[in-house]
Amino acid sequence: MTAPVVVAIGSNSDDPVAQVRRALGRLAALSPGTFLASSLWESSPVDCPPGSPPFVNAVVRFDPPQDLSPESLLDLLLNWESEAGRRRGPVPHAPRPLDLDLIAFGLERRATPRLTLPHPRAHRRRFVLQPLSEIAPDLVLPGWTASTRNLLAALEGDEVLRRLPDP
């Protein structure tokens, strides 16, 4: 796997486990090659309104189809969020049935109003790094100075993730 795509998946409403599993299936169907998925993890909401329920998170790493661009994948992810019932409104980080973040697209680097690659906050988020470390501990994304394992070990804060049991 030379140029993997990395997508973070989260949900904290409308049956989060089912939402994340459905997204995992859709992403697996998209990949013509290697597909790696983390376990499901439960995390406390970060930067969300008070009283927001916990999230169920996962991360996938896969080989993209050759004709897929970062922008077309972003469009697909946003469409899947909408189909799941996500509505972007005036309250930022409100509970949502599905949140799909494009973390990396191979070695691509972007900084446009629509898309920044790699994701600009992924290296500071335990709910991304812990699942990603599970499937790609030695991965160093473009612009990162350390592997996912080392970035996770260096994170500060008291956020705790709980690995959910396999079905």
pLDDT (tens digit per residue) in 120-155: 999 999 999 999 999 999 999 998 999 999 999 999
Q: For residues 91 and 29, is the Cβ–Cβ distance under 8 A?
A: no
- What is the Cβ-side half-sphere exposure of residue 18, based on CA atoms within 13 angstroms? 5
Verify whether residue 21 is a known catalytic residue.
no
Structure tokens of 61?
């790493």
Verify whether residue 109 is a known catalytic residue.
no
Residue in 22, 96, 125, 126 annotated catalytic: 96
Does the pLDDT of residue 2 top 60, yes or no? no
pTM as predicted: 0.94
Residue in 21, 22, 99, 125 annotated catalytic: 99
Domains of the chain: 5-163 (3.30.70.560)
Examine residue 118 and say whether the peptide bond preceding it is cis (omega within 30 degrees of 0): yes
Verify whether residue 96 is a known catalytic residue.
yes
pLDDT (tens digit per residue) in 80-105: 999 998 887 776 677 889 999 999 99
Does the pLDDT of residue 49 top 90, yes or no? no
Q: In whole angstroms, what is the distance from residue 159 CA to residue 146 CA? A: 21
Q: In whole angstroms, what is the distance from residue 55 CA to residue 17 CA? A: 9
Verify whether residue 87 is a known catalytic residue.
no
Does the pLDDT of residue 70 top 80, yes or no? yes
Residue in 14, 26, 101, 109 annotated catalytic: 101
Residue in 22, 86, 125, 126 annotated catalytic: 86
Q: In whole angstroms, what is the distance from residue 162 CA to residue 74 CA? A: 28
